[in-house]
Amino acid sequence: MSIPKPVVPSLAQLTAFAARVSPLKFLTPENRKRIVRAASPLPFRRKEVLFLQGGPARSSWMLYSGRIGLMIETQSGRRQELEHIIPGELFGTLDRLFGHSKTYSLTAEATVESIALRIPDEMFKSAFSGDVELMSKLLGLCADRLAKMTELPRMSMEPPRTRLAFAISRLVRVYGNRIPIKEREIADIAGIAPETAYRTLHEFRECKFISPRRQHVEVLNPERIHAVWENASVSR
Positions that interact with its own copies (CB under 8 A)? 52-55, 72-78, 80, 82, 94-101, 103, 105-106, 129-132, 135-136, 138-140, 142-147, 149-154, 157-159, 162, 173, 230-236
Rounded CA-CA distance 217/81 in Å is: 26
Q: Apex CA 114: angle with CA 149 and CA 163, to 5°?
A: 35
Nearer to its own copies, 14 or 50 (CB): 50
- In the complex, least distance from residue 147 CB atom to its own copies, rounded to whole angstroms: 4
- In the complex, least distance from residue 136 CB atom to its own copies, rounded to whole angstroms: 6
- In the complex, least distance from residue 158 CB atom to its own copies, rounded to whole angstroms: 5
Q: How far is CA 193 from the centre of its chain?
A: 20
Rounded CA-CA distance 236/231 in Å is: 10
Element (H, E) at 127: helix 121-128
- In the complex, least distance from residue 20 CB atom to its own copies, rounded to whole angstroms: 19
Rounded CA-CA distance 106/144 in Å is: 19
Nearer to its own copies, 107 or 114 (CB): 107
Nearer to its own copies, 29 or 140 (CB): 140
The helix/strand/coil state of 165 is helix
Nearer to its own copies, 149 or 207 (CB): 149
